[in-house]
Amino acid sequence: MRIYKIFRAAEWAALERDGTTDGAPVDLADGYIHFSTASQAAETAAKHFAGASGLVLAELEAEALGEKLAWEPSRGGQLFPHLYRALARTEVLRHWPLPLDAQGRHAFPEDMA
């Protein structure tokens, strides 16, 4: 199953430069890296990144992240993937820019799994 992480431009640049990340400030505060499924990603973007430009959407294979990936209830009791370790750039399968459309919503790629 594919899961997704939304990065701000500076966070993505740091991952590209350093090769690993412990996540965004919210991830550090919560103690794990937040991910979303394909069906959860748009709501995540609207709730946590409304109006933000310069975002990057990264796609990963959930099973490849190993036992440190947990599925835990969050918004409305939905299960969300949380990674309890650093994320390596090499674990990112694909990434796309996440621009805003004419209505100010993030335009997700059509080929998300």
pLDDT band at 106 (very low <50, low <70, confident <90, very high): very high
Residue 86's pLDDT is 98
Mean pLDDT value of segment 92-103: 96
Q: Could you tell me if residue 104 is inside a domain?
A: no
Residue 98's pLDDT is 97
Mean pLDDT value of segment 93-110: 95
Q: Could you tell me if residue 105 is inside a domain?
A: no
In the chain, how many domains are there?
Answer: 1
Mean pLDDT value of segment 3-29: 97
- Taking only the tens place, the pLDDT of each residue in 22-69 is 999 999 999 999 999 999 999 999 999 999 999 999 999 999 999 999
Domain residues for the domain of 20 are 2-98
Q: Could you tell me if residue 74 is inside a domain?
A: yes
Residue 5's pLDDT is 98
Q: What is the CATH number of the domain that holds 33?
A: 3.20.170.20
pLDDT band at 112 (very low <50, low <70, confident <90, very high): confident
Q: Could you tell me if residue 112 is inside a domain?
A: no
- The contacts found for 15-24 with CB under 8 angstroms, 24 or more apart, are 15/87, 15/89, 15/92, 16/89, 18/89, 19/88, 19/89, 19/90, 20/86, 20/87, 20/88, 20/89, 21/86, 21/87, 21/89, 22/86, 22/87, 23/87
- The percent of residues in the chain predicted with pLDDT above 90, rounded, is 94
Residue 34's pLDDT is 97
Retrieve residue 42's tokens: 């748009």
